[in-house]
Chain A
Amino acid sequence: MYNFWAIFGIWMAAFLTLAIFSFLYKDNPFYKLAEHLYVGTSAGYMLIYTYFLTIKPMLIDPITKQQQFFLFIPAFFGIIMLTRWFPKIAWLSRWSIAFTIGIGTGLAITGSIQGILIPQIKGTLIALHGWNWTTLNNLLIIIGVISTLTYFYFSKAHKGVIGKTAKIGITYIMIAFGASFGYTVMGRISLLIGRMYFLFHDWIPLIH
């Protein structure tokens, strides 16, 4: 039993979908209307979302219910972040930005080393032994990593041995780009399948 609101909603969604698709024919008022509606509604969504999923649970509830009054300090830093709206006192927001950037850099340095460099280097330290396909694959991996790093090495001209290794490196990189290209095409097509399914299943039931 589809009640009235569900049917109305589907028709509204179908109208908005076709309005955006109309950009394929040419840029037109319908597309501009849908695009501006998208920007406006997502901004409205974010405003409500920020209150209910950020400010209320992390500030208002703890302060009112558990009397955690020291939370006024981060709340203060948060509010002066909004001084960017007023050019005269916008410089105040630099303190909060400095604090968040400081945390970000501290996490980035420790994360990059412990979370990326150590495991990725360790994954390439493979002793090659035993005549089987796995050893062959490991050899190709090691050559790939070393030659890719050589390609992005800028302190030596790409001549002689370094030049040849860099050439192998760009070959590996082009294979990787080809693979990413194929996967990206796959990803974009899936989005279209999703919209076509909506149009011809929920709206006009051609697909059952």
Chain B
Amino acid sequence: MTEYNKAQQDIVDEFSVFEDWLDRYNYLIELGNDLPGIDPKYRSNEYLINGCQSKVWLHADLVDGRLIFNADSDAIIVKGIVALLVKLMNERTPSEILENELTFIDGIGLRQNLSPTRSNGLLAMVKKMRLYAMAYQAKENQNKES
């Protein structure tokens, strides 16, 4: 098991203690509250992923070959899920993100929240995170070549 997948398993394990849906949500709300909001300069239309029912903002930098994500949402439960995604993917190399599949969302029963019809911006955010990884990887490869 890759370290990445180990991290996913940890999240699933953490969640498994909650039998009740409302407890899981309470935990997500906590995570959401703990996630520092996005730097105000990124809380703008440029970084907005419009989900119709809730909004998500996302920005990523590459520092020393690792991605640093900065993300936020206007809905707190969505922000909790955002926090989980950031927790998993932050400070990873682009190839780690691209080579591993995202499984923990399924594992903690939140898959519906990533369905294309949910309009909460999460699915688009996950796609965007991978796009950032791809873009930075391409850039790195280019730099190596030149």
Question: Is chain B a partner of chain A in the same complex?
Answer: no
Q: Which residues of B are in contact with A by a Cβ distance under 8 Å?
A: none
